[in-house]
Amino acid sequence: MIRLSHLILVIVTLASYLPRLINPDVFWPIASMGLLAPSLWGLTFLFAIYWLWKKDNAVWLSVITLLLGWDMQSNAFAIPDGGATAATTTVKVASLNGHGFREQTDEDIATFLKTLDVDVLLLQEFRIREEGNALAKEIQKQAEFPHVYREKEAQLAVFSRYPLKNGEIHYFSNRVNGYLMVDVVTEEGTFKLINAHLQTNGISNLASQVTQDGSLQEKKTWQKVKTMFGRYGRSNKVRTQQARKILAASQKTSLPVLLVGDFNDIPTSYLYELFRTEFEDAHLAQSWGLGTTYEGLLPGLRIDYILPDADFTIYDFDRIPCSFSDHQAIRAEISLQKH
């Protein structure tokens, strides 16, 4: 029985490696397997230890499966090389999906954001209309950001201690998600900043129902699980299309590009692979572990990113818990390389 369980685990684990390779436009149902990849890889590792202890040749099946997934696992689990040394001039950047900044006063929000102590702050799910205007003024006042770029009806905002110019905001078809582009003018040079918020999965409520109220012996629980993975797969297809638009926009500028935001997707996804063709990952460069940024019921989700292109050097990366959001703030210290 244990050998059969091992074989099934190997097959499912190998399948979980496929989402980063298969375009969801071609076959989106496989995308949801990426959610399970780190956990399945870990279980396979435990089996490898078991077979090694037993001195059984089945260990080689586990080892081969682990090696085939090593590249995927290296995207999900950071082991920094610590190679970068401090530069004379750096730019500190932070990003946060504020979850609408619900049930918080403007003063409390601004106080928290000030503690991030950064030069450039990117926010997603920002308040809109007059409430957004009032919050923006409070952040500028308390956190001492003389420059801001946002639009009254947009849920994206950038605050900066450096001048901002050539700002533009692009919505996707749902008019909720989109990306903001703006030039940041620093002493070391100007770079293009992209603040992105991609299609949500819409599975948090279902995950909560399955975890809190569901029984694995009930058919309706498995129906919810099926619906949850189906929603993730379909939204993954939409996000991949959105990612291509962002990539195309980033390639139109001659400036260095820093891509930041809430991608609503994980490092084992096809979307992540698309972005990594052009950008580095600050978490992988200067942090450790899974780097969870979303405090949902599904464990270990890293869906918020700071991705500089090759014109930057990355010196530091960390995550800061936020009491009024289900996301953690992420912060990096970078510098423009001189050519």
Do residues 161 and 120 make contact, with C-beta atoms less than 8 angstroms apart?
A: yes
CA distance 27 to 19: 9
CA distance 325 to 32: 25
CA distance 20 to 287: 22
- Tell if the pTM clears 0.85, that is, is over it: yes
CA distance 150 to 109: 17
Print the SS3 string covering 281-316. CHHHHHCCECCCCECCCCCCECCEEEEECCCEEEEE
CA dihedral 247→248→254→260, nearest 10 degrees, is: -30
pLDDT at residue 89, rounded to an integer: 79
Helix (H, G, I), strand (E, B) or coil at 280: coil
CA distance 293 to 141: 28
Helix (H) or strand (E) holding 24: helix 24-27
Residue 160: Cβ within 10 Å count: 23
CA distance readout (Å), 71 to 65, 76, 121: 12, 9, 31
Number of H helices, E strands in the chain: 11, 11
Structure tokens that stand for 135 in this block: 């919050």
pLDDT at residue 88, rounded to an integer: 67
Tell which residue, 82, 115, 57, 39, has the closest CA to residue 329.
115
What domains can be seen in the chain, in order of their start residue? 2-76 (no CATH), 91-202+229-336 (3.60.10.10)
Instruction: Please report the sign of the dihedral spanned by the C-alpha atoms of residue 9, residue 12, residue 16, residue 22.
Output: positive
Per-residue pLDDT tens listing for the chain (339 residues)? 899 999 999 999 999 999 999 999 888 888 889 888 988 999 999 999 999 999 999 999 999 999 999 988 888 888 877 666 665 679 999 999 998 898 889 999 999 999 999 999 999 999 999 999 999 999 999 999 999 999 999 999 999 999 999 999 999 988 789 999 999 999 999 999 999 999 987 655 555 545 555 554 566 655 656 666 678 888 899 999 999 999 999 999 999 999 999 999 999 999 999 999 999 999 999 998 889 999 876 777 899 999 999 999 999 999 999 999 999 999 999 999 754
pLDDT at residue 195, rounded to an integer: 98
Tell which residue, 198, 210, 228, 226, has the closest CA to residue 303.
198
DSSP 164-202: EEEEEEEE-TTSS-EEEEEEEEETTEEEEEEEEEPPP--
pLDDT at residue 86, rounded to an integer: 60
pLDDT at residue 209, rounded to an integer: 47
Could you tell me which residues come within 8 angstroms of residue 150 by beta carbon, excluding any fewer than 6 positions away? Answer: 126, 132, 136, 156, 157, 158, 169, 180
Structure tokens that stand for 303 in this block: 């869906």
Which position has the token pair 């205007």? 133
**Residues found in the chain:** 339
- Residue 276 burial (C-beta neighbours within 10 Å; 0-12, 13-18, 19+): middle
Do residues 303 and 331 make contact, with C-beta atoms less than 8 angstroms apart?
A: no
